[in-house]
Structure 1
Amino acid sequence: MEKTPNLNEVAKLAGVSIMTVSRVINNSGKVSEKTKQKVLDAIKEIDYQPNMIARSLARKKTNILGLVIYSEEGVHPTFYNEIMNGVQSGASELGYDLLIFAQNDEQSYRNRIIRSSLVDGVIFMGIHVNEDDIRSVHEKGFPYVFVGKREVKGIEPYYISPNYIEGTKVATNYLIEQGHQKIGFIGQSKKIAPDYDKFLGYKQGLKEHGITYNEKLVSEQSQSQADGYNAMKEMLKHKPTAVMLNNTYTTLGAITAIKEEGLVIPDDISVIGFDDNQELNQQFNDFIGLDLTSLQIPKLELGKQAAKLTISLVEGNEHPKANYLDLVFLQKNSCQKL
């Protein structure tokens, strides 16, 4: 059997001590650049095991991506889990592992990301992020990608985002093609950028079909189940024939209000939800006895593409700063043609 190379052979070939080889491998202690290069050359020449360590040292790469999640209130628990699964899948396909940075109030993410040398690139997720983290990573030229559309003062960040504007416009067009003219929209567009894009898509859909925007059919400050309930109660006074709902919690509140008014979905009012997930669909089905027509974020694919984009940036490839992924429109039976 072929003998596996060891530290003694690396040290002998490089003309240094075993301790010096160990310091180079572990990146500890003081070693001159000239000596370090001798050791790296020796590692490469005899293919010292483990190979991954040798390659990482020689190429100054770890083949590990970092993941930072800024937790959010009001975000459905499964939302980030599915994206994370996609990130893992995309990283694995290209030979990378994943390191999740834990929240630490005493030390910023940027210091741990840049100074630790643990990862080759990083993926950020969350709505309300620390912009100082992003600017620092960006200015250092460290490869990173946001999941979700981003605006950070002073820089143009890299991001991959669902195309909310186009997706919501597709759903609006669908309702119009079904004969609906009085279409309501319940969301939180004034506070969260993705939600504002959904609102813009809704307005564009109306405009392209010559339908006048009616502010009485819009609630732009709805996030919770109670918000959805109250917004729907008020909107029903103006007799919409269809309504688009921004998130899981708003949807559950709104359909409660619809039932209380004695209305039947879709006979009296058509409903389109957002971000189809198993829990929402089950609750909607239990409550109404129908499957919800909805816009879905392809979360697994979003995470996968975020990982692949980050790795491509690590490898020095050029990409646009803004990258988009189409939403999926699921036509179920909560909408009816007029």
Structure 2
Amino acid sequence: MDNASLPIFDGHNDTLLRLEMAAREGSPMSFMEGDERLHIDFPKAQEGGFAGGLFAMFVPPVQELGSKPDFQSMVKPIEQTYAFDLTDAMMARAMLLARESSDRIRICLSSQDIRKAMEDNALAIMLHIEGAEAIDADFNALSILHEAGLRSIGPVWSRSNIFGHGVPFDFPGSPDSGPGLTELGKELVKRCNALNILIDLSHLNEKGFWDVHAVSDKPLLATHSNVHALCKSRRNLTDKQLSAIAESKGLVGLNYSIGFLRSDGDKSQLDMDLDIMVDHLAYLVEKLGEEGVGLGSDFDGTTVPRRIGSAAGNPALIERMQARGFGDELIAKIAYKNWLSMLERSGL
């Protein structure tokens, strides 16, 4: 297997936010030409086999341009109008990238669109909202955003909104941390099911997870989460949650964040052994089956192991999977096939 040519479909990144905020701060980045500040750009994607993924539109708190957000401010609720405006700007940025790319980047609305983009060697972007603050209580924004190309929603980030409550980042800790979905949150899940919009369980607390399990008629999906039994971060999934995902024929995307991988939760250890990532993958395969595991890097939104570093470094993870005895077909499933099958099972 040529690791550099193996396509990677990645369930989560924050590249659109990085591009938008850099432009607002007066230091724009070029996605097509590449920028050392980005984990994902077009040159790195081509180098590492990154074929596409769910591109998140995450709305940080209001802050002065150029300033780093205070961690506590990240968990405070934000206003819908601000969230919609920034989401709109990130969506427009994705559309502009595609329009100016000479068909090297495509906004994809379905698994069929993604397959065609991969066949044509075009980078596939499927639009995702991380935290549904942009959506109003009357769901008017949901209709607008879906029509514009939105195909995936995480009802909450790690803060509360009108739909539910996010899980905090505490380590160690349990994801059982507060109330679940609100009635509006349950209605959001039903409406997304009707529109074939994916519901992402990453960042939901445990009660919210089980509320989605009870309300949704789609396979359960956590785009960028890891194994709680191996790393006791509240952001990770318990064995009971993994069993529910398996029963629904759902999927978990491996998060590359060091703090959600290491057993001690120490996110400063940039030289982390990639075997730890494979430990999580092997555990997920055991609990979910070979069809239930994918990748969800969180590139451009977290600190990743130095041995990977960016989308160009994905072949290093593939090599480590090979060294651990993962067969070529299982690796291909984890790299991209399972994501495409999951999208099809979800109606996309």
Q: TM-score, normalised by structure 1?
A: 0.28
Q: Which structure dedicates a bigger proportion of its chain to helix?
A: 1
- In our comparison, the structure showing a higher alpha carbon Rg is 1
